[in-house]
Structures are given as C-alpha cells and as structure tokens.
Amino acid sequence: VTTATAPAPTGQVYTPVTGDDRAVARSLTLWYVLASTAIFAVSGLLGAALRQSQADIVRIDDNAWYAVMTAHGLGAFVGWAAFAVMGFTWWVLAEVGFPIGTLGERLARAAWWCMVVGVAGVVVTTLVFSFAGSWVFLYPLPFHSAGQWSDWVTALFSASVLLVGLSIIIWCVAVLVVVTGPGLGSDRGVLNRLGAAMGLGILWPRKFVSAQPVPYPVIPLTVIAIDMIIATAPLAVLLVEMIIESFTAISVDPLLAKNVLWWFGHPVVYLLLFPAVAIYYLLVPRYAKRPLVAGNIIAVGWTIAVIANVTVWAHHLYLDYPNGIQAAINTGMEPITFALTLVSALSLYSLFMTIFNSRWTWNAASTALFLGLVSWLLAGLSGVVNATIAWDAFVHNTLWIVGHFHHMALLNIGIVIFGAVYAFLPKIVGHELYSDRMGMWHIWTTFLAGTANSAIWIVQGLDGGPRRFAQLPGEYDAWTAASIPVVAILTLVQLLFVWNVVQTLRGRTSTHTRRLAMGLDRPKLTSPALQGFVMVTTLLALAGLAAAGWAIGNRDADEAEAAFLPPIEQPAGGAGGELAAGQQVFVASGCGGCHQLAAANATGTVGPDLDQLAPTDDRVAEIVANGRGAMPAFRDQLTPEQIDAVATYVAESATGGP
Amino acid sequence: LRETPEAPGRRRCENTGVNPTALTITIAYSAVVFVAVVAILIVWRSTHSFERNRKDTTDTHRLAEGEKGWFMFAVAALAVLLLATLAFIPYGDNAKAEGQQEVRVDSQQFAWVMSPSTIRAGVPARFAVTSRDVNHGFAVYNDENVLLFQIQAVPGSTSHIVYTFKEPGRYQVVCLEFCGLNHHKMVGALQVGEAR
C-alpha cells in the first residue's frame, strides 16, 4: 500500500460520547477554559502595560519591565494559549467519540493543578520577587541578576516552571491514554494503537487497524502528545539542575543549556498549534457542511511532523556558532524546518479547500476559524523568513520576531480559542451563546487590531528595532506611539468576549439573539457587503488612530536621541575641548551601561552612581585602567590619553549629589 | 566654546540607507502576502451566494487530488528558497586569513570591552566574540541605526565574524540578546577610520 492510491475524502461522521463520559469532558473543558481565560485577562493586561511603557506614557522601572515581560511571556503563551487548547482537547476528543476514562480524568485533573500552581508561582516570583530573566530564562542569566533577585527566587521560579512542564507531560500521557483507549476500537498492542492514532492506518490500513478510520482531529493530538514528552523531559532536568545550583556550586555548559531550552522551546509552539489544528479539523467541515478535503498525503505530513517537530530546535540558535558542530547542526535544521512547514501547508490547503465554494455558515465561531486560517498563512510566511538562516541573520532578536509570534499566537491560536469558546460553550452549558453578533464584533476587531499590532512590530523589526528593550531609542518612537491606540482597542475589545462568556454562563441571551430565535430579525453582519463594511470601517478607524499616534511619536522623537548611543553635548564652561574628548570616551566605551552621570545622560544602575560618588581623577584613572570587582579593565582598549581624558571628565562633571 | 572638528556628533557616518537583507525580506514577504491575500479573498467570496438554499455541487475529490499538486509546489518553492539563500549563510566566511584586523570583543553585564576599539575601513575586521558572564548579542549598527551584522556572544566559547566596513565613522555596538537589568543600555562605539 503506497501513498499513490486515490485520495479518499472520507465523509467522517463522528459519534460523540454520551452520559458520564460527556459529563467528564464537559467538566474538564470548563475548568481548563475558565482558568486559562483568567490567565489571559491578566497576561493580556501585562502585555499592554509593557507597550505603553515603551511609548513613555506611564514608565515602568527597568527591572519591573523585564519582570512583567517574563510574566507576560510565560502567562500568555503557556498559561493562556497552551492551557486553553489543552482544555479544548478534552471536548474535541469527546466530540469524536473518545471517552476520557477514569485514568485519563485523574491525569487531566493533575495536569490542571500543576499548571495553575506553576503559573501562580511564575506570577509571584516575577511580579512580587522581581525575577526578570525573561520567559526563556537563558542560562546562566537567572544566576546573574545584577542584584535584582536572589538565588532562592531563581530556585522558586525554576520550580514553578518545572510544575508547568510537569503539567504538560501529564497532559500528554493523559491524551495518549485516551487516544489509544476504547475510542480507537483496536485490540493491538500499545505501539500499534499509537501508530493508528497518529493516522498511519490511512497509509497502511491492514497494519494499523481501528474500528473506524481514525478521526482527523485525533492525529495532531497524538503527534503533539508524543513529541511534548520527548521535548519537555530534558528541560525538566535543566530546571532541577537550576534548583540545585541555587543552593550549591554546580553548573552547566551555557551552550548545552541553550540547546536544551530550545529542544523544548520549539515544540512548545506546536503544543499551541497542533491542538488548534484538531479544533480546525473538527469544526471547519461542520461549518462547511462537507467532509474535510484531505487525501492520504495528510498522513504523510503528520508523519513528517512527529519527527521534524523534535529535530528543529537549533533554528533558534542560528546565530550561535562558536564551533563547527553547532554550525553543522544549525545548517541541517534549515531543511528540516522547511519540511515541518509542509505540514502547515497541507493543513492550510485542506482547510481552505474545505471552505472553498461551500455553503459556509458565517457566525462568530466560523469567522474566528476563517480568520485564524488567514493568520496562520500570513504568520507562517513570516516564519519561513525566520527559518532561512541567511535572513534570520538580520531579523534575529529584532521586533520582527515579536511581530511574527504575536501574529501566530494571538491571531491563529488565540482566535481559534475564541472561536472554540463560541462554538463549544453553548454545547457545554446547554444553551445558546449570549450574543453571536457581539462575538462577530469581537472577532473582527481582534483580528484587525491584532494584525495591525503585529504589522507595526514587523516594520520596526525591519528597521532594526531590537526586541526585549525596556526603552527603545528615539528612532522607533513614532511606530511605538502608533501602536498604542491599536493596543488599546485590542485590549478593550476583549471586554466584549468576557461579557459574552459571563452572560452565557449565567444563562442569558441578548435581545437580538431572542428576536432571531423568534424569526423577527435577519442575522446581521452576515452578508458580504455588511462584513466588508464592518471590516473597512474598523480598518479606517485603526489606521486613523495609528497615524495620529505615529505623528505624535514622530513629533516628540528627539532627533538627538534617535540612536542607541546617547548624544554628546558640549560641556558648558571649563576646558571645553578636553572635557568633550573625555565625554566621547565615556559614551563610546559604554560607561553609561552601568553608571549614572547626568552630564553624559548616563542612567545605568548597576555600578556606582558617579554623580553621588564624585571620585577624584586619579581614582577614576586607576579603576578604568585596572578594573575593580565587576568592572572590567579598559587598559587594553583605551590609550593612556583617553583614560586621562575620561578621568578628568568624570571628576569635573560629577555633580556630587544623588 | 571651542568647535571641535573631531567631535563625534551623530549622523557623521556616510554608511546610511537600508540593510540589503532587510530590503530583500521586505520585498519577498510583501509579494507573497499579496498573492496570499488575493487567494484568501477568492475563498472568502466563494462562500457567499445570493441564491437561497444553494446546493454544494463542488467535486471535493478533485480538490483532494489537487493537494498532491500543492504538496509538490510547496516542496519546490521551499527548495528554491533553500538553494537560493544557501550561499548567504554566514557560517563559512569567518575563517582567519591574511590581512585581517583582529578585534577581541569581551562582553559582560552591561559593557562591551573591545580591543582595539578603533579600526580601519576597507580592511576585513575579524571579531572574536565572547562573554564573561551571560549570553549577549553582539550587533553592529551604523550611526543611522541600520543593523549591519550580528552574532551571539556565548559564555565559555568564542565566536568569530568577519565584516568589512566600507565607510569610516562611528558605529554602534548594541546588545541583542536579553542579558538583564540594563540590557538596553549595553551599548558601545566602534570607531572606523579612513581606509589607507
């Protein structure tokens, strides 16, 4: 049996589980979705707070900014997006006839608790105890806090992330228990059943048997459950090492640690995507009223995925090549990463072609799915740019990356989560959605504002704007200001979502929904003309506000502070030329990275405050030349004349006060 | 106040404009997005009909057959991209060679220690980049904030990158890997003198 046999778009008909099995799925899904929605609200607000601080509206202290960034990253990515799709997995499995069973349920509840406690730990260690190592906590940064947090906080943070990792592993085991369980209807061995659940029966039907063709949504869930166990285990070991290192003197090779981090950090992206694909596979055919357009080739794609997913980690290390081995690994990862994008290309084809020319129902849920596919395609294309080493050499660690992953995480995964809430919540709670029309407004506005938000980052990134900067140079002010109204709309429109969910949970229906039910109204916002009108109006409003922001930012951007290096002003009075030379040395050597000196616009907070210290020029010259404590020696970099000049400059310019 | 002709004011570097890689990405991404959006609009429009109770008469078998063609197309497109950009992977061109200027770059929270910190234009400069504490990102921008090149500074390892500055002037060294509290203040200057 080969892949060359005719593709069979099998009209898969699923028989949902019933009775107690359904009650279990309902309860699990509700617990996961409610917890993840609460995390979404918090981490979303943290994200908005970061952006407004960059725009200098209410400035957050540097370390606090990085702590919020850490909480926002882990919170939004894992605590919201991953956690939510992990929860919807239980409902998807129930819908395609896979009962969760006693063991599955126990594991699912254990995973829930690990996630909730882990995320709470992350929030406390970052927002209360100032851990600000970013969500990738790039080893050994957690142990070099520049005096901002102590090692026991690192231990606590690592333990919290370890719980999150444990949650993921337990969830994976639970999924594997369910997909190889009675729902599959196979009496073969465990490995054979695993193969069947992965869709290998589509390629080799006689070898991998199941009672009925394996439901398409089960395939990505099986693939990610296998992969995340492989991906998370080494990270768990690193986290345990970090906990021990907090108390004793052991260490790990930083390059190895970086590989371990991304060994997990790449697949975790697919912990978001693949369960979202399961939701697409289930719901898109339902709204298109036709079977999923998929041939045997889709099983080929998922077979590539299960292997490629755990062998592409080093594309996050494209610019780490201190030795030939790492360079060789990195180069090999480019074609493998490309192979992995084929799975997305095939799924996108299947899903768009399922919609094409169909009698597609346009409601809040189906609109979310459609726009999610749009974002998957557009963000996938910017992902191909990142995957290309020659291009990544430019975009690496710029705001382009931030634009890319917010596009993918918020507008593909996030919007599918919203769509799944609109589609599943009514079934889970047993009555209609409060307002489908409100849902439409929420989805369209989220899509448009979210796309604009990512587009702004992409533009800033192509302009060389660095990511993870608490304060950006003036060069980027205009676009940062442009993003503020967009972020505000994106944030505010989520109130529609929260209100819709709360009212639905309370069993309410809007007047419009009731009038529709009685046949008094025609559904609004469902004709192409009306949708187009809404889209264009929202776009114009966004563009107008963004343009206003851009203009304000552009006007306020001080030309003199446009660059990364602080501007050099002529010191007033005294021996102008000599002091200017000293200032040049001060600025060019990056003294301001650690020290404060008002005369040079230097605001570093790690080393001594030179204004307050007011050292003599001899003392400055001696320390600059030979270094002291954490301060490096500059005698190899600077000439004796330059050292004298900077010493005189510091001694003359220090104000002598705080 | 005396005018100092050597005062390193901003905007003295002639090497302005855009990074060619950024330009290529902008053009390629815009073009592909344009095609994608047209395809999306076609799918979107195809689902709207003013006929009530329209029957779905689409041959979905044919659409599923088309998936193979699409698979071939995707493989071919990615292969072309891979082959076209392979030559620009920066790993191979950083070897030691005659006539290079050697620059040692030690990074630490939150400073760049470069020796020498003044080099010449027109001659390849080979940077040996390392870190004394955490991971840093050694990125060089010209004075107009155009990113020219970057490489990761890994503690315990030394990485090499070769770049030839065409124009003299002040260049900015910026940290592009998050390294803690004053990451965004970890900047330095590289002075590039006239080519001899």
DSSP string of A525-558, one letter each residue: S-SHHHHHHHHHHHHHHHHHHHHHHHHHHHHHS-
Is A356's CB within 8 Å of B81's CB?
no
pLDDT, mean of residues A150-154: 96
Residue pairs between chains A and B whose CB atoms are closer than 8 Å: 337
- Does A590 contact B25 at a Cβ distance shorter than 8 Å? no
**CA neighbor of A84 nearest in space, from A362, A376, A279:** A279
Contact check, Cβ <8 Å, B117/A589: yes
A464, closest residue in chain B (CA to CA): B147
**Tokens for B166?**
């065409």
Q: Alpha carbon of A627 to those of A151, A297, A634, A648, B133: distances in Å? A: 26, 63, 7, 17, 16
Burial class (CB in 10 A: 0-12, 13-18, 19+), B18: middle
What separation in angstroms does the CA of B67 have from each of A38, A218, A220?
Answer: 40, 21, 18
Q: Residues 220 to 249 of A: which have CB under 8 A from any B CB?
A: none
Q: State the pLDDT confidence band at A75, using cuts at 50, 70 and 90.
A: very high
Put simply, the answer to whether B109 touches A334 (Cβ < 8 Å) is: no
Which pLDDT does position A528 carry in this prediction? 67
Interface contact A535, partner B, CB < 8 A: no
pLDDT for position A559: 62
What the block records as the tokens of A166 is 């444990």
- Whether residues A138 and B88 touch (CB distance < 8 A) is answered with no
The chain B residue lying nearest A590, using CA atoms, is B188
SS3 label, residue A98: coil
Contacts of B33 (CB under 8 A, 6+ apart): A378, A381
Dump strand ranges (E) for A359-508: none
| Longest CA span, chain A | 91
Cα Rg for chain A, rounded, in angstroms?
A: 28
DSSP strand E in A383-439: where?
A: none
- Helix/strand/coil for A260: helix
**Chain A residues 457-516 within an 8 A CB cutoff of chain B:** 462-464, 466-473, 475
Q: Cβ separation of B173 and A473 shorter than 8 Å?
A: no
Cα–Cα dist B154/A194, whole Å: 40
Q: For the residues A626-651, what does the mean pLDDT come to?
A: 87
| Whether pLDDT at A7 is above 60 | no
B32/A381 CB distance under 8 A: yes
Q: How far apart are CA B71 and CA B75, in angstroms?
A: 6
Answer whether B135 sits within 8 Å of A258, measured CB to CB. Answer: yes
Q: Give Cα separations from A446 to A119, A494, A514, B43 (angstroms).
A: 25, 8, 25, 21
CB contact under 8 A, B25 and A462: yes
B95: amino acid identity, one letter: A
Residue recorded with tokens 């990125």: B139
Query: A12: pLDDT confidence band, cut at 50, 70 and 90?
Result: confident
Q: Rounded to two decimals, what is the model's pTM?
A: 0.92
Look at A593 and B110 and tell me if their CB atoms are within 8 Å. yes
Q: How does DSSP classify residue A409?
A: I
Name the residue in chain A with its Cα closest to that of B138: A319
pLDDT of residue A571: 54
Q: Rounded to the nearest 10 degrees, what angle do helices A324-355 and B60-86 cross at?
A: 160
Residue range B24-31: mean pLDDT, rounded:
95
Alpha-carbon Rg for chain B in angstroms: 25
Q: How confident is the model at residue A522 (pLDDT cuts 50, 70, 90)?
A: low
Residue A590, sorted as left (phi over 0), alpha (psi -120 to 50) or beta, turns out to be: left
* Cβ proximity of A231 and A268 under 8 Å: yes
In terms of Cα–Cα distance, which of A436, A480, A414, A72 is closest to A275?
A414
- pLDDT by residue (tens digit) across A80-107? 999 999 999 999 999 999 999 999 999 9
In terms of average pLDDT, the best of A295-299, A355-359, B114-118 is A355-359
pLDDT, one tens digit per residue, over A48-74 is 999 999 999 999 999 999 999 999 999
List the single residue in A6, A394, A630 with the smallest CB-CB distance to B21. A394
Cα distance between residue A371 and residue A364, in whole Å: 11
Q: Give the ipTM of the model, two decimals please.
A: 0.92
Q: For chain A, give the percent of residues with pLDDT over 70.
A: 95
pLDDT at B104 over 60: yes
Under DSSP, the state recorded for A466 is B
User: Cβ contact (<8 Å) for B29 and A527?
Assistant: no
**HSE-up of residue B90 (Cα within 13 Å, Cβ side):** 22
pLDDT digits (tens, 9 = 90+) for A214-254: 999 999 999 999 999 999 999 999 999 999 999 999 999 99
* DSSP tag of A605: -
B86 and A390 in contact by Cβ < 8 A?
Answer: yes
CB distance A577–B66 less than 8 Å?
Answer: no
Task: Specify burial of residue B28 (Cβ count, 10 A radius: 0-12, 13-18, 19+).
Answer: middle
CA-based nearest residue to A351, from A291, A274, A412, A275: A291
Q: Provide the pLDDT for residue A212.
A: 84
Identify the closest residue of chain B to A378 by CA–CA distance: B33
Hey, what amino acid is at A602?
A
- Residue among A9, A147, A593 minimizing CB distance to B186: A593
Select from A133, A378, A590 the Cβ nearest to the Cβ of B111.
A590
Closest residue in A to B52 (Cα–Cα): A359
CB contact under 8 A, B116 and A349: no
Q: Please report, rounded to a whole number, the percentage of residues in chain A having pLDDT higher than 90.
A: 70
Chain A residue nearest residue B108, CA to CA = A632
Which residue has 């990113």 as its token pair?
Answer: B147
- Measured between beta carbons, the chain B residues lying within 8 angstroms of A342 are 71, 74-75, 78
Average pLDDT, chain A: 90
pLDDT-based confidence at A563, cuts 50/70/90? confident
Residues 41-80 of B with CB under 8 A from A: 43-49, 54, 56, 58, 60-61, 63-68, 70-71, 74-75, 78
Q: Other CB atoms closer than 10 Å to residue B93's CB: what's the count?
A: 13
DSSP string for residues in A26-67: HHHHHHHHHHHHHHHHHHHHHHHHHHHHHTTSSPPPHHHHHH
Three-state SS sequence of chain B: CCCCCCCCCCCCCCCCCCCHHHHHHHHHHHHHHHHHHHHHHHHHHHCCCCCCCCCCCCCHHHHHHHHHHHHHHHHHHHHHHHHHHHCCCCCCCCCCCCCCEEEEEEEECCEEEEECCEEECCCCEEEEEEECCCCEEEEEECCCCCEEEEEEECECCCEEEEECCCCCEEEEEEECCCCCCCHHHCEEEEEEECCC
The Cα A164–Cα A113 span in angstroms is 9
Q: Which amino acid, residue A516? A: L
Burial class for A236, CB neighbours closer than 10 Å (0-12, 13-18, 19+): middle
B82/A335 touch (CB, cutoff 8 Å), yes or no: yes
The answer, for A71 touching chain B at a CB cutoff of 8 Å, is no
- Quote the tokens at residue A564: 């990364």
Residue A601, pLDDT > 60, answer yes
Closest CA to A454 of A415, A418, A422: A415
Please report the residues numbered 546 through 575 in chain A whose beta carbons come closer than 8 angstroms to any beta carbon of chain B.
Answer: 560, 562-565, 567-568, 570, 572
User: Which B positions 167-186 lie with beta carbon below 8 A of chain A?
Assistant: 170, 172-174, 176-186
Q: Which residues pair with B126 in a beta bridge?
A: B102, B162
Q: Which residues, at least 6 apart from A293, have a Cβ–Cβ distance to it below 8 Å? A: A9, A349, A350, A353, A354, B60, B63, B64, B67
Distance between CA atoms of A465 and B155, rounded to whole angstroms?
A: 25
Q: Which residues pair with B103 in a beta bridge?
A: B127
Within 10 A of A612 (CB to CB), how many other CB atoms are there?
12
Whether the ω angle into residue A485 lies within 30 degrees of 0, i.e. cis, is no
Distance between CA A243 and CA A161 in Å, rounded? 11
The bridge status of strand A602-603 relative to strand B125-131 is unpaired
Gap between the Cα atoms of A89 and A215, Å rounded:
13
Report yes or no: A395 at the B interface, CB cutoff 8 Å: yes
What are the pLDDT digits (tens) for A452-489? 999 999 999 999 999 999 999 988 999 999 999 999 99
Residues of chain B with pLDDT > 90: what percent? Answer: 66
Q: What would the two tokens of residue A152 be?
A: 């026991």
Closest CA to A288 of A396, A339, A362, A217: A362
- Return residues 81-120 of B near A (CB < 8 Å): 81-82, 85-91, 106, 108-117
Sign of the alpha-carbon torsion through A622, A624, A626, A629 = positive
Q: By CA distance, what is B158's nearest residue in A?
A: A322
pLDDT of B16 over the 80 cut: no
Q: Do B116 and A140 touch (CB under 8 A)?
A: no
Condensed to tens digits (0 to 9), the pLDDT of residues B34-45 reads: 999 999 999 998
- Average pLDDT value for residue range A268-275: 96
What mean pLDDT comes out for the span B137-163? 94
Predicted confidence at residue A468, as pLDDT, reads 96
Assign A602 to helix, strand or coil: strand
CA distances to A42, A113, A371, A448, A493 from A488, rounded to whole Å, are 15, 33, 21, 13, 8
**Count of other CB atoms within 10 angstroms of residue A572:** 9
pLDDT at B2 over 60: no
Q: How confident is the model at residue B1 (pLDDT cuts 50, 70, 90)?
A: very low
Contacts of A391 in chain B (CB under 8 A): 21, 24-25, 85
Answer whether B47 sits within 8 Å of A357, measured CB to CB: yes
Name the band, by pLDDT with cuts 50, 70 and 90, for residue B61. confident
Report helix, strand or coil for A467.
coil
Tens digit of pLDDT for each residue in A640-654?
A: 888 998 999 998 888
Cβ contact A374–B156 (<8 Å): no
Asked if B68 and A331 come within 8 Å (Cβ–Cβ), the reply is no
| Closest CB to B68 among A297, A323, A335 | A297
CB neighbours of residue A249 within 10 Å: 6
The candidate with the shortest Cα–Cα distance to B180, out of A320, A265, A594, is A594
- The answer, for A11 touching chain B at a CB cutoff of 8 Å, is no
Place A658 in a pLDDT band, splitting at 50, 70 and 90.
low
